[in-house]
Amino acid sequence: MTEFQSIQYRIAEYSPDPSPDEYFEEGYEVLRQCRAEAQAVLIAPYPVEQPEATSSISGDSEKRQLQRIIVDSSARRFQCKKIYLRAVAGVRWLNARNFILQSGKPLQQQAVLLQQASANLHAVGMNPPSLQIVADNSILKELAAVTDTRIYNDFRQTDSEAGYWLGDDPPLATILDWIRSHPA
């Protein structure tokens, strides 16, 4: 839960204030979309289900309720991490854009570099590029690397390294089913 909260705070911090001319540029759109998605995850209520009256053993009902809570929290954590990684790509785009505009290069050269920065927003890879690499058009493409499998495996690895119990964690397919059945 701490990680979920931390991710929510970080996403909330990404609120650039573009000029009217910049408002619809790709990186700003990504950041606005990420912020709206994060808020939707945060305000979505827990889907309460009525307890079964026919349950002969109250422990079974409690176990099912606990499993629903685990799936719900796992899915929300998953959604926020995916949103966060996309927001980070948007911030890198914004930093690259600002660097290019402040470089003092001729306007035509800036336009080419800005197009490259936008193209790189959809590229593969998550290694943080230096600002000079941006100018050299060597940024690894990021948004395409934000995959469900990658996020799930990252969580499993991080949780395992932290010594957390993984036996009750839902599989990726269950998380994705929950997300599809509970649109924000």
| Per-residue pLDDT tens digits for 114-165 | 777 777 666 643 344 444 334 333 223 677 788 999 999 999 999 999 999 9
When pLDDT is averaged across residues 95-114 and rounded to a whole number, the result is 74
Six token digits for residue 133: 């690499």
Q: Tell which residue, 91, 92, 110, has the closest CA to residue 102.
A: 110
When pLDDT is averaged across residues 35-52 and rounded to a whole number, the result is 81
Placement of tokens 């690259």 in the chain:
96
CA distances in angstroms from 87 to 16, 29, 31, 83, 91, listed in the order given: 11, 10, 6, 6, 6
128: DSSP letter: P
Model pTM? 0.76
Placement of tokens 């890879």 in the chain:
125
Mean pLDDT of all residues belonging to the chain? 78
